[in-house]
Amino acid sequence: MKAIILAAGQGSRLGAKAKGMPKALQRVGNRPLIEHQLEALSAEGVGPVVVVIGHGADHIKTVLGDSVEYVFNDKAAETNSLYSLWLARDWLREDVLLLNCDVLFHPEVLKKLLRAGGNALAYDSTSASGAEQTKVGLRGPNVSDLGKDFPETGARGENVGIIKLDAKGSSALKSKAEAIIGTGDENSWVTEAVRGVLAEVDVEAVNVAGLPWVEIDFPYDLDRARRQVWPQIQKSLHPWQQRWRRVRIPAAAAVTAAVMASVWMLSAEVGPASVDWESLAPVGEGTRMAIERVDDGPQRWWGIPPEGSLAVEVTGSVSTRVESRALFPLDTEVEDVPYVLEMLLDGEPYRYEANRSSPDEDVSLEGYLVGTRDRDRFVVPDGHHTLEVRLLAGQLKGVLVRVRQPE
């Protein structure tokens, strides 16, 4: 798979903060921003890479040398990103990744995107407001529309700035870019061409909520990248975690077996005084896990591994409560970590719940730090349904879940 990085812009909104250098060379974690992107691409076997350059082209060439190929936009000062893409149109063949150079992202963002089939776009469901955000609309699992002008009321998240295209998607994007440029419009953004592609091919929406990332437009964004986002990325990539990435598949079975061997069935928590809540058993097999509370003793929960799920049968027209607790590794410090649960009703996307969790000092579970409890309460439509809860995103070892309805 090839990659195209659009890096011709001046980044004028950074002002004096840029010190005359292009966005791609702004330093984060003592390295140019674009080097973080190239490292992530290389780690996943993506290449060759072409970088569309314009402002500060010689500086970028000096830093990157012959590690990439180049396309030069000699009209960078008077055009926008679509014109840069059009100049690299010969690269829009077969499978290709398209990135904006001003995005700092956790490598797992790229991993999640590459795991998706066909065409896919990364978005963050926890961010969907603001005039500068490119907002994303969904229809089922796919992107229906996107743009800064997309109404916030219908937005399901923010576009990260990375899209993966297969041969059909690449061809469609090339055609849309050529059509727009052919009208003489050289000031459009890539988003306008992508909007046209959405009408021709399915583009899967890949939710990366919970993973640290930032698009760098303004001085504040650059400061945030340096002070907050990069430290979060760096912290999650400690050697112990890198080792876990290499052994996670064989280790998953062993961890699951060990957990199930040590699990015991225990009493459920009592809800508000006026309601007795019943914890629903999952459809098929599930991993029972029990926590110990300092005041209340043991409680029974169900464990969901990263990107795993839990399905239960629910009755409509009554209150339904999904309770969750994040699971963190024992040998790391965590605080206020975001994660996202996706809920499907009878196989169709139903709702998302974005939570933030820190360790609960009053709760213990062998092998884990257990997070504070989050609750999402709602009423499903009348009838009997299958409710599936998925851990969609978040840097966790897993999550504990209980789906509860009144007895």
159 Rama class: left (phi>0) / alpha (psi -120 to 50) / beta: beta
At residue 287, the pLDDT reads: 81
Q: What is the DSSP string of 170-221?
A: HHHHHHHHHHHHHTT--S--HHHHHHHHHTTS-EEEEE-TTS-EEE--SHHH
Q: Are strands 69-72 and 49-53 parallel, antiparallel or unpaired?
A: parallel
Class of domain 251-406: mainly beta
The secondary element (H helix, E strand) that includes residue 251 is helix 239-261
Element (H, E) at 319: strand 319-328
CA distances from 85 to 34, 50, 76, 81, 357 (A): 17, 11, 11, 6, 40
The alpha carbons of the chain give a radius of gyration, in whole angstroms, of 23
CA distance 114 to 75: 32
CA distance 238 to 122: 24
Q: Please give the residue that has the higher pLDDT: either 242 or 73.
A: 73
**Quick check: 271 pLDDT over 70?**
no
Residue 43 token pair? 């780690």
- Above 70 in pLDDT, residue 157? yes
- Average pLDDT (129-134) is 74
Other Cβ atoms less than 10 A from the Cβ of 190: the count is: 25
d(CA 135, CA 129): 7
Average pLDDT score, the chain: 84
Span 125-152, mean pLDDT? 83
pLDDT tens digits for range 96-105: 999 999 999 9
Task: Using alpha carbons, list the distances in angstroms from residue 400 to 302, 370, 396, 397.
Answer: 5, 9, 11, 10
Q: Is the dihedral of CA 246, 252, 254, 255 positive or negative?
A: positive
Distance CA 352, CA 141 (A): 13
Q: Where are the domains of the chain?
A: 2-237, 251-406
Q: Please name the fold of domain 2-237.
A: Spore Coat Polysaccharide Biosynthesis Protein SpsA; Chain A (3.90.550)
DSSP state of 38: H
pLDDT for the residue numbered 31: 87
Helix, strand, coil percent values for the chain (each to nearest 5): 30, 40, 30
Residue 331 structure tokens: 């040998």
List, for residues 33-88, the tens digit of each pLDDT value: 999 999 999 999 998 999 999 999 999 999 999 999 999 999 998 999 999 999 99
Q: Does 2-237 match 251-406 in CATH topology?
A: no
The model's pTM is 0.62
Between CA 337 and CA 211 the distance in angstroms is 9
